[in-house]
């Protein structure tokens, strides 16, 4: 049996059931009875494939169900933050609201504008949702529960999620709508900028763990990294909410300005896919945050999967709270915030962490707590100092003299 997937009981079950393999004997669900699988010798790869498919299907469906739950939760909680009830008509407590939404979206007419680039237009929603699902592959969602524990896990996450930029730009460009194009332009500028501080904030963690694998990162957290790397956490949560277009950085689909940004022209299930990807991204990012900063699945008493879910929804709740409170920034302020505020801070964080790791190579618990103290101090001082600089220097002026644009008609 391929060792890579040994950790997963379900996978092993399917695999053993199908494949006739010497290695089947042994503890676990594949006992003696299953020594002769359904498939002849030499066809194990089919079993491998089928087992993988099965578990991927399961994972994606559970994930999508969670996303539905999350959309419901977001709307209900936003309602409560706004002193109203939120959806409560469909099903008990309105729980079936996401189902009703999905049915509505599925039955809607699928419009493609006349001026659109058909191929790109249809491709964009897919390009949007795939990265979100791909991240699930490396996300350890419980003890020994992951699809793949690849040794570049976090790098994979970073790489895959940046495909979103492309999808948004595709959608914006292909719609042939100027609002959508504004959205696409903003998406490229904003998402690419925020990629930098986010990745740099992760580097601090990697310096401690010395590994890029998500599982290793969880296991290396003797103290949750949210304490050990408070600055990194701040940068990560700010940066990733910018990457997910969450308030206060939701310029890409700023409803009051550019209607709905890059997906203005989408209707029906294509629009649904965008929404799904966006809400999915919140869950996935919360998952990554839980893994990186809050010890992933680890926790006392409760089963590990539950712990993971609790942490995910905790971060999701924070994001909903932020969305309910903050107005939106302007595009130049968003860029300033990334390059003049988050970027230097992430460099500072990286530097301080590197020094610490150099000084204490094998830190004891006491030394770790010392690091917590130092890093908290650095975080507070850094943020305060930078906000002063930021405030005094001021942001870019709100009014720029319009350039003399000469357009020759041609």
Partner 1 sequence: MYGLGIAKGFLLTMKVFLRKPVTVKYPEQRLKQHPRFRGEEFVWYEERCTGCASCAKYCPLGIIKIVTHPGDQKPLEGGFYDIDVFDIDIGRCMFCGLCVEACPYDALFMGSGFEEGQYRRDDLIITVDRLRAAEKHPSTWFRPQLEDSGYDPHKDSPASWEKVGRENWPFHLSSRPPGPADSDEGAQE
Partner 2 sequence: MPLRTEPITINIGPQHPSTHGVFRLRATFDGEVILDVEPVFGYLHRGSEKLAEERTYTQVITLTDRLDYVSSMINNQAYVLACEKLAGVEAPERGMYLRVIAAELQRIASHLVATGFLINDLGAFATPLMYCFREREKILDLFEMLCGARITVTYMRVGGVFQDAPEDFWPALKTFVKEMPIYLDEYEQLLSENEVLLIRTKGVAILSTETAINGSVSGPVLRSTGYPWDLRKADPYELYDRFDFEIPVGERGDNYDRYKVRISEMRQSIRILEQCMQQIEPGLVKTDVPLLLRPPVGEAYAHVESPKGELGFYVVSDGGVSPYRLKIRAPSFINLTILRELVIGLKLADMIVAFGSIDVNMGEVDR
**Residues making contact with partner 2 (CB under 8 A):** 78, 81-84, 178-179, 181-182, 185, 247-248, 250-251, 254-259, 323-333, 395, 398-403, 405, 407
What are the DSSP calls for 258-326, one per residue? Answer: HTTGGGTT--HHHHHHHHHHHHHHHHHHHHHHHHHHS-TT--SSS-HHHHHHHHHHHHHHHHHHHHHH-
Residue 240: contacted member of partner 2, partner 1, none (CB under 5 to 8 Å, by partner type)? none
CB nearer to partner 1: give 19 or 242.
242
Least CB distance from residue 193 to partner 2, whole Å? 15
Applying CB under 8 A, does 374 fall inside the site for partner 1? no
User: Among 17, 81, 339, 369, which residue interacts with partner 1 (rule: CB under 8 A)?
Assistant: 81
Tell me how far apart the alpha carbons of residues 259 and 393 are, in angstroms, rounded to a whole number: 32
Residue 329: contacted member of partner 1, partner 2, none (CB under 5 to 8 Å, by partner type)? partner 2
Query: Buried b vs exposed e over 337-375: b needs ≥16 C-beta within 10 Å?
Result: bbebbbbebbebbbebbeebeeeeeebeeeebeebbeeb
Residue 88: contacted member of partner 1, partner 2, none (CB under 5 to 8 Å, by partner type)? partner 1
Contact 143, 201 (CB under 8 A): no
Applying CB under 8 A, does 25 fall inside the site for partner 1? no
Residue 399: contacted member of partner 1, partner 2, none (CB under 5 to 8 Å, by partner type)? partner 2
Count, residues near partner 1 per rule CB under 8 A: 19
Residue with tokens 């992933």: 296
**Rounded to the nearest 5°, which phi and psi values hold at 143?**
-65, 125
User: Among 39, 50, 77, 372, which residue interacts with partner 1 (rule: CB under 8 A)?
Assistant: 77
CB nearer to partner 1: give 83 or 404.
83
| Residue among 200, 207, 215, 146 at smallest CA distance from 343 | 200
98-137: which residues touch partner 1 (CB under 8 A)?
A: none
| Composition of the chain by helix, strand, coil, percent to 5 | 70, 0, 30
CB nearer to partner 1: give 79 or 113.
79
Q: Which residues bind partner 1 (CB under 8 A)?
A: 77, 79-85, 88, 321, 324-326, 383-384, 387-388, 390-391
């Amino acid at each position: 049996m391929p060792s890579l997937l040994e950790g997963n009981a379900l996978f092993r079950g399917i695999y053993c059931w199908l494949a006739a393999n010497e290695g089947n004997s042994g503890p676990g669900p594949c006992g003696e009875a299953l020594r002769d699988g359904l498939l002849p010798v030499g066809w194990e790869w089919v079993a491998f494939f089928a087992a993988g498919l099965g578990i991927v299907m399961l994972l994606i469906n559970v994930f999508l169900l969670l996303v539905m739950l999350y959309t419901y939760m977001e709307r209900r909680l936003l309602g409560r933050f706004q002193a109203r009830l939120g959806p409560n008509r469909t099903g008990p407590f309105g729980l079936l609201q996401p189902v009703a939404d999905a049915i509505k979206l599925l039955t809607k007419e699928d419009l493609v504008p006349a001026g659109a680039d058909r191929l790109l237009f249809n491709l964009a929603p897919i390009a949007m949702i795939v990265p979100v699902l791909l991240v699930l592959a490396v996300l350890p969602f419980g003890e020994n529960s992951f699809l793949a524990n690849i040794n570049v896990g976090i790098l994979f996450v970073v790489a895959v999620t940046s495909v979103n930029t492309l999808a948004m730009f595709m959608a914006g460009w292909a719609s042939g709508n100027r609002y959508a194009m504004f959205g696409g332009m903003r998406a490229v500028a904003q998402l690419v900028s925020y990629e930098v501080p986010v990745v740099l904030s992760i580097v601090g963690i990697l310096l401690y763990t010395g590994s890029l694998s998500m599982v290793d990162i969880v296991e290396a957290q003797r103290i949750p990294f949210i304490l050990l790397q408070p600055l990194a956490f701040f940068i990560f949560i700010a940066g990733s909410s910018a990457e997910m277009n969450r308030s206060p950085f939701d310029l890409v689909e700023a409803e009051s300005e550019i209607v709905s940004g890059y997906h203005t022209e989408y209707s029906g299930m294509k629009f649904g896919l965008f929404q799904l990807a966006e809400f999915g991204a919140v869950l996935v990012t919360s998952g990554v945050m839980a893994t990186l900063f809050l010890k992933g699945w680890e926790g006392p008493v409760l089963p590990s999967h539950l712990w993971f879910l609790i942490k995910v929804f905790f971060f999701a709740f924070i994001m909903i709270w932020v969305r309910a409170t903050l107005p939106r920034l302007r595009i130049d302020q968003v860029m300033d915030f990334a390059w003049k505020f988050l970027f230097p801070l992430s460099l500072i964080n990286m530097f301080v962490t590197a020094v610490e790791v150099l000084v204490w190579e094998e830190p004891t618990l006491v030394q770790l707590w010392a690091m917590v103290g130092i890093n908290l101090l650095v975080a507070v001082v850094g943020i305060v100092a930078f906000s002063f600089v930021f405030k005094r220097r001021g942001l870019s002026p709100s009014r720029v003299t319009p350039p003399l644009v000469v357009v020759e008609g041609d």
